[in-house]
Amino acid sequence: MAIQPRDNFSGKFGVIAAAAGSAVGLGNIWRFPYITGENGGGAFLLIYVFFVIAIGVPVMMSEFVIGRRSGSNALGSFRKLAPGTPWWLIGLMGIVAAFVILSFYSTVSGWTLEYIFQAINGGFAGKSMEQLNSDFGSFTSGSFRPVLWQIIFMIMTTVIVIGGIQKGIEKATRIMMPVLLILIIAVCVRSVTLPGATEGLRFLFEPHFEKLTFKAVLMALGQAAFSLSIGMGALITYGSYIRKDTPLLATSLQVAGADTLLAILSGVMIFPALSALGMGNTGGPGLVFVTLPAIFQSMPGGYIFAIVFFILISVAALTSTISVLEVVVAYMKEEFNISRFKASLIGAVSITALGVVCTLSFGLLKDFTIFGMTVFDLMNYLSANVFLTFGALFIVIFTGWKLGKLNFIDELNQGGKISPLLARIIIFIIKYVAPLAIGSIAIGAFFIDGLT
Ligand code: TRP
């Protein structure tokens, strides 16, 4: 293949903005609070943070190492590092995972746009929970509006990806990530100053270890993996654009730190508001689209905060969707030698086609089920329980057992040396601890119901 100059991130901040953008998404704002709420609050949080540091960071580093060492897309990188072996299948699984994730993720992302629009129109005013719940049901079970918003969201994603790494993804995330942080802090301040807010904070931070079931522990690990965007090659792809003078350990720690901070801030934004308004601490996925609008419409300044809130979730979602699309685009561009523009269009259109089926599975196609699940539920299930967990498992096995210690340490040391003791600990985790821990969620997922 002809050697073409590769686009790259301009430096450390660009990488962090893009990778943290990938990590911080619907998982932090839409998924983390309700999973935490259902699994014992503070105790769950503690385990979650432990997994991020002990497992998440080493796996993230593995992905960056694989990407930068090979300078290639998610599939090409395995082919380069382990030629003539079937390891490229992991990369292929990542590309398939990108399709699956983006299809259902763009459904929910589209909903967030509808809710910005409704918030601006004052659509929640004076409505009870029941009404908001039925509004949400009738919106999601419709066809035209949810599909239209999904397509608009995919167009925004595609436009950024067409711009390339430095001029598209880096530029967009450099602006959006600080904006996101400011918006979240603004809503947090509003939420914790509501009377009765302390109860919610206590729920989020006070550990109750009796609630930590085996299932909760597995869910914490699954959520950590999903939230850090590990397991499908998004970070391999981004890793391939990282310059050699960027330190990978520090970068991984900062990205994981930013992701965890934003997950905790989402909790701080949501739980005090729930307790202040006397709502229960648990809530399913409807939390964001039903309970929060109910809260907004009854709190001072709620009109503005509702708009800000739904804008912030869409921004968080957009910085993630671009990284998923980039996995597919980098693959097609490099393996089939087509232009970025063409790859982006082909990728986006085919993902949107599957995405529309996910969106319609709340209405028109709700009776069309496979293994008893609608297409949306199946995609959600497959991504969290199959693709991401097995992806992460094989990625650490590859790094620990195939790539070789010397290669791994050599790549890690480019851009900043790490101490030999630390290197030994990291290798130990990647070789033994991470595969065992991730292997147990992968297997547990088949036996424990409702692990997503
Ligand atoms: N991390 C994203 C979130 O928290 C979702 C996600 C999971 C993702 N896997 C990914 C994003 C892979 C990009 C690439 O919402």
User: Do 180 and 311 contact (CB within 8 A), yes or no?
Assistant: no
Quick check: CB of 351 below 6 Å from ligand 1?
no
Quick check: CB of 229 below 6 Å from ligand 1?
yes
235 CA to centre of ligand 1 in angstroms: 10
pLDDT value at residue 449: 59
Counting from 1 in the atom list of ligand 1, the atom nearest the Cα of 234 is: 14
Concatenated DSSP letters of 373-412: EEHHHHHHHIIIIIIHHHHHHHHHHIIIIII-HHHHHHHH
Quick check: CB of 230 below 6 Å from ligand 1?
no
367 CA to centre of ligand 1 in angstroms: 28
Nearest Cα residue to atom 10 of ligand 1: 229
Quick check: CB of 262 below 6 Å from ligand 1?
no
- 399 alpha-carbon distance from chain centroid: 22
- Testing ligand 1's pocket by substitution, the residue of 232, 328, 388 carrying the most ligand atoms inside 8 A of its CB is 232
User: Do 207 and 46 contact (CB within 8 A), yes or no?
Assistant: yes
Quick check: CB of 240 below 6 Å from ligand 1?
no
Quick check: CB of 234 below 6 Å from ligand 1?
yes
298 CA to centre of ligand 1 in angstroms: 32
- Residue 341: CB atoms within 10 Å: 14
Nearest to 317 by CA among 21, 114, 103, 62: 21
Quick check: CB of 324 below 6 Å from ligand 1?
yes
Counting from 1 in the atom list of ligand 1, the atom nearest the Cα of 228 is: 1
**Positions in the chain short of pLDDT 50:** 1-2
Write the DSSP symbol of residue 370.
E
- Testing ligand 1's pocket by substitution, the residue of 101, 313, 315, 318 carrying the most ligand atoms inside 8 A of its CB is 101
- Testing ligand 1's pocket by substitution, the residue of 226, 315, 325, 327 carrying the most ligand atoms inside 8 A of its CB is 226
Question: Is the CATH code 1.20.1740 the one for domain 12-447?
Answer: yes
Quick check: CB of 25 below 6 Å from ligand 1?
yes
Quick check: CB of 232 below 6 Å from ligand 1?
yes
Domains of the chain: which residue ranges? 12-447
Quick check: CB of 101 below 6 Å from ligand 1?
yes
Residue 418's region, left for phi above 0, alpha for psi from -120 to 50, else beta, is beta
Amino acid at 179: V
432 CA to centre of ligand 1 in angstroms: 25
Quick check: CB of 222 below 6 Å from ligand 1?
no
Please give the Cα distance from 63 to 79 (Å, whole number).
15
Nearest to 419 by CA among 291, 190, 247: 247
pLDDT value at residue 282: 53
Please give the Cα distance from 238 to 89 (Å, whole number).
19
26 CA to centre of ligand 1 in angstroms: 8
Quick check: CB of 323 below 6 Å from ligand 1?
yes
Quick check: CB of 100 below 6 Å from ligand 1?
no
The pTM for the full model equals: 0.93
303 CA to centre of ligand 1 in angstroms: 29
226 CA to centre of ligand 1 in angstroms: 6
22 CA to centre of ligand 1 in angstroms: 6
317 CA to centre of ligand 1 in angstroms: 9
pLDDT value at residue 174: 92
Nearest Cα residue to atom 8 of ligand 1: 229
User: Do 154 and 352 contact (CB within 8 A), yes or no?
Assistant: yes
Residues 371-395 as b/e (b if ≥16 CB within 10 A, e otherwise) read: eeebbbbbbbbbbbbbbbbbbbbbb
Long-range pairs for 338-341 at CB < 8 Å and ≥24 separation? 340/161, 340/162, 340/164, 341/162
- Residue 70: CB atoms within 10 Å: 21
